[in-house]
Structure 1
Amino acid sequence: MDLLALADFTLVARHGGFGKAGRAARRPKATLSRRVSELEAALDLRLFERGRRDLKLTEEGRALFERAGALLSELEETAAAIASGGGRVRGRLRISVPLLFGQVAMGRLAAEFVRQHPEVRLEVTTDDRTVDMIEEGYDLVIRVDPAADEALIGRPFLHDRLVVVAAPDLPRRTDETVPVVIRDGDAAEAWTLSTSSGPAAFKVSPIMRLSSMVMVRDAVRAGGGAARLPLSLVGRDIADGRLARWGDVAGSDIALWALYPSRRLLNARVAAFLEFLRQSFPTGVPEELAAYVEP
């Protein structure tokens, strides 16, 4: 099999079209189309369904892309490691992170990581959906309590939980409906909390629905009502007295995981970033992230 043609096929599949792949690699679209056609002829398989405006992988094309993409990446990484002496952390590292973690922590983490490893070209995107690491070309993803996936392995590096907070002057009464600020899409009828004096239930009435937890926190800071928020996001506000902690939301413990494809060798860049996360959050408790977010 022609490995160069196979590499061209994975390039086109990753970018979703000959034109996009050609622009990304600065190669003629016609050349890529010809090379893919030659690969299809050699395999006697149709790898793409070609429409007027779009290009879609066939079932056989998808299977080839998932396996060939990983193998070609390993070959490239092995060659780069040999050329660089095997121990240097260099090259492109693509990471997908949840929106909130990206907003509050990833900018500083990215700067510190690149300062330690100046030959790395780091690319970070924020996305709360479940990305396809192989198809979309990610080396590592950070996700909250991910579902089991045989194709991925990883480790939790941070833990968090939801707490209810409000401005210190907001009355905390269980016999009246509490005005609350919630993230858009969350249900809100009654909240049951674990407090130092036992369980407490509150009837709640949403007066604001906001699209991000950072917006919800800012509204609560301004006295807009009570809210359920990650302890890591409001830990410093609680410690400094800007917000009062009413209690913990029962059963709301979560973990942030760093995941990577199990079919690939753990390259030096991913290994370095995993170690960097371990050093940045050695205990992994919510208060550690809170201190990192607002030093």
Structure 2
Amino acid sequence: MDLNALKEFAAIATEGSFAAAARKLGTPKSTVSKRIQDLEAALGVQLIERTTRKLRLTAEGAMVLARAERILSDASEITQALNDTGDSISGHLRIAVPVLFGQAFMGQIAAVCRRLYPDLSLEIVLTDSQPDLIEDGFDAALRIGHPAHSALIAQPIATAHRVVVVAPDVLQSIPETPADLTGLPILLAGVGLVQTWYFQNGREQASVRLAGRLAMTSEPALRDATLGAAGLALLPLFLVEEDLAAGRLIQLLQHWECAPTELTLVYPSAQSLTARLRVVLDVIQGAFPDGTLHGGLLRCRT
């Protein structure tokens, strides 16, 4: 089947006329008309009903259009994949990224990608929702925690450790076990004023259900509240690393490890891991060579 004919048929359906399709494609109108006639003859059906005022797809034409769009998309991906096997990485990538990670790291990661691959266009969408990659037009997404959609392929990026922190002089006594947190001024990340925190100390495990005095859906805002001596909070280490080093916050329960969260890159299938997505994945993984999210300057390769 002639791909040019399918392309011209799709353009006619989009533009609404043979003349407009011909202008869009830079092809003579007579050539477009002839190819559509040949396509109809080859398929043995009428695809377009022609009137003096407008064109309308037949039922068969609507079915062929849906298939043609998929065929043309596949052909474009094949061409791009073949181009990506060369030395020059080009094309377009659209990636969904959690807001906190994006604000903390993606600006520097994107800058490295631009330096290394100037012909590659990146569209990075910061969102805490989990969009459907195919339906919403994403090539890949960074996800916190295990992917909810088991059909997705997941590549591990790094581990985000969490710590319990508080401003100096907020507490009269320092808690030694998770149970000691009960009754203290707790600040919670997320929705709702009750949460369960999980800890591990060697083989010993503990959980404590805590009632919060304040809950916020923004962890950077919760960090600010913690710095303002509003209470103690469980926050990502990379977010408070510099505060701990400077003494603005202190870490509690240092012998107890909070359950970490995993950052992964997910994409729909093995065929989705194009050369351009692979190089971006390499840059992201290269930013965290020890497999841990760190604050401050990234370890991006240049």
Report the TM-score when normalising by structure 2.
0.68
Unaligned runs of 5+ in 1: 12-16, 19-25, 28-33, 48-60
Return the match for 1:252 from 240, 259, 267.
Answer: 259
Structure 1 residue 216: Cα displacement = 0.6
For 1:102, what is the secondary structure of its paired residue?
A: helix
> Matched residues in 2 for 1:9 and 1:170: separation?
70
Aligned-partner residue type, residue 80 of structure 2 = E
Listed as ranges, the matches of 1:92-107 within 5 Å are 92-107=92-107
Structure 1 residue 212: Cα displacement = 0.7
Asked if 2 retains the 8 angstrom alpha-carbon contact of 1:158 and 1:257, the reply is: yes
For 1:238, what is the secondary structure of its paired residue?
A: helix
Return the match for 1:219 from 215, 222, 225.
Answer: 225
Listed as ranges, the matches of 1:127-138 within 5 Å are 127-138=127-138
* Residue number in structure 1 paired with 2:37: none
* Residue number in structure 1 paired with 2:80: 77
**1:185 partnered with 2:191:** yes
* Residue number in structure 1 paired with 2:30: none
Listed as ranges, the matches of 1:117-156 within 5 Å are 117-144=117-144, 145-150=146-151, 152-156=152-156
* Residue number in structure 2 paired with 1:90: 90
Asked if 2 retains the 8 angstrom alpha-carbon contact of 1:95 and 1:140, the reply is: yes
> Matched residues in 2 for 1:97 and 1:10: separation?
33
> Matched residues in 1 for 2:72 and 2:130: separation?
19
Structure 1 residue 188: Cα displacement = 2.3
For 1:135, what is the secondary structure of its paired residue?
A: coil
Aligned-partner residue type, residue 155 of structure 1 = Q
Query: Given the superposition, is the C-alpha separation of residues 40 and 4 from structure 1 closer, same or farther in structure 2, using an over 3 Å criterion?
Result: farther
Query: Given the superposition, is the C-alpha separation of residues 246 and 68 from structure 1 closer, same or farther in structure 2, using an over 3 Å criterion?
Result: farther
Unaligned runs of 5+ in 2: 16-22, 25-47, 50-54
Asked if 2 retains the 8 angstrom alpha-carbon contact of 1:166 and 1:246, the reply is: yes
For 2:106, what is the secondary structure of its paired residue?
A: helix
For 2:129, what is the secondary structure of its paired residue?
A: coil
RMSD: 4.0
Query: Given the superposition, is the C-alpha separation of residues 41 and 200 from structure 1 closer, same or farther in structure 2, using an over 3 Å criterion?
Result: closer
Return the match for 1:262 from 266, 269, 281.
Answer: 269
> Matched residues in 1 for 2:232 and 2:83: separation?
53
> Matched residues in 1 for 2:94 and 2:127: separation?
13
> Matched residues in 1 for 2:81 and 2:195: separation?
55
* Residue number in structure 2 paired with 1:22: none
Structure 1 residue 209: Cα displacement = 2.2
- State the aligned residue count: 256
Report the TM-score when normalising by structure 1.
0.70
Return the match for 1:228 from 234, 244, 252.
Answer: 234
* Residue number in structure 1 paired with 2:114: 114
**1:283 partnered with 2:290:** yes
> Matched residues in 1 for 2:134 and 2:98: separation?
18
Aligned-partner residue type, residue 240 of structure 2 = V
Higher Rg: 2
1:47-76 CA distances to partner (integer Å, 9 max, x unpaired)?
A: 8xxxxxxxxxxxxx6xx6996586244224
* Residue number in structure 2 paired with 1:170: 170
Structure 1 residue 91: Cα displacement = 2.0
Query: Given the superposition, is the C-alpha separation of residues 219 and 104 from structure 1 closer, same or farther in structure 2, using an over 3 Å criterion?
Result: same
Listed as ranges, the matches of 1:36-75 within 5 Å are 38=57, 41-42=60-61, 45=63, 68=71, 71-75=74-78
Aligned-partner residue type, residue 129 of structure 2 = R
> Matched residues in 1 for 2:236 and 2:80: separation?
38
For 1:264, what is the secondary structure of its paired residue?
A: helix
Query: Given the superposition, is the C-alpha separation of residues 284 and 134 from structure 1 closer, same or farther in structure 2, using an over 3 Å criterion?
Result: same
Aligned-partner residue type, residue 168 of structure 2 = P
> Matched residues in 1 for 2:211 and 2:284: separation?
39
1:7-44 CA distances to partner (integer Å, 9 max, x unpaired)?
A: 79999xxxxx99xxxxxxx97xxxxxx899648524x7
